[in-house]
Structure 1
Amino acid sequence: MPHQVQTPTSAHTFTQRISASPRGARLARRLVRYHLDGWGVPYGSELSDTVAQIAAELAANAATHGRVPGRDFQLRLLLRADGVRVEVSDTRTECGPPQRPEPPPDEAESGRGLVLVAALAARWGVESRAVGKTVWALVAPPERPDDVSDDVLDEVRGPAHPVPTREP
């Protein structure tokens, strides 16, 4: 049988189902840092810290607001030509995030997750799935090249005149 060559849609992709719990949200953050480091985005770099913070917020929301007993959430991380995309999918369809998150009152102990995501991400949004939803955020490549190796920047930034692509 001949070997089929498939063109990847992303230079690097990681997908993992995780328990919808506070422990699962912490694990999501650690997994993001680990995989980014393996892809050449070092621990402690601006890009790694930003993507990990966004993943932690989206995973915490999935564990808190998107939780369905007995169901996990899914974390997906993609290193693409336009940046790093974080996706967190849960199985709850009737509960979605607000389109324009507003900061909670100063005395509130929660409610800042999506405000942080909106502030840190170049773009973010919500997509419906057959069961549930996916909340995604895109972090643009860093402006400071000393944070990330030249090879990774070339891979993330792509050609000088990129071909427009549709958002998956």
Structure 2
Amino acid sequence: MDKVVEEVEKVKKEWDETCKKTQEHIEAIADYGKSARAKEENNSLARLNGIAQDGLALLSSFLFTLDLLAPQLPSEPEVQSTRALLQSSKTLTQNLRLNLRNANLQAKANLRKAAQEERELLLGGGEESTVRRRNLQTKAGMTSAAESITESLRRTR
């Protein structure tokens, strides 16, 4: 097999692997903040974004390499096939960039929603907080009644 053909096959394989990993990172970004423990997650949003950006840069470098190797292929059908693959790969890379942008928007929306839910719990917007408030009021009422009884008993002595 020709060295150029081998190199093209190697680049195609690496491109496929990098593309899959980048898609996984983009999906992780889109899911970021959905769990209540967003701050406890292993990868921060900035780190996931960095990894996804690195993957996209690597994909672009593979496309550049493929573009350089395509004219050097031994037969015209291989050249045409590689150029067609190059075009579809460029389109896929652009789609990945768009997906990354949408994933970041989704992650920010997830974080906003999680923060709002936490705020509602803390400020008493939910059913749990109503129960908590009632319990506290009941305890305060019982404490107040006990104190007034104790005070009146002290006065009677």
Q: Normalised by the shorter chain, which TM-score bucket?
A: under 0.3
TM (normalized to structure 1)?
0.22
**Which protein has the larger Cα radius of gyration, Structure 1 or Structure 2?**
2
Give the number of the structure with larger relative contact order, counting CA–CA contacts within 8 Å between residues 6 or more apart: 2
Higher fraction of helix: 2
TM (normalized to structure 2)?
0.23
Higher fraction of strand: 1
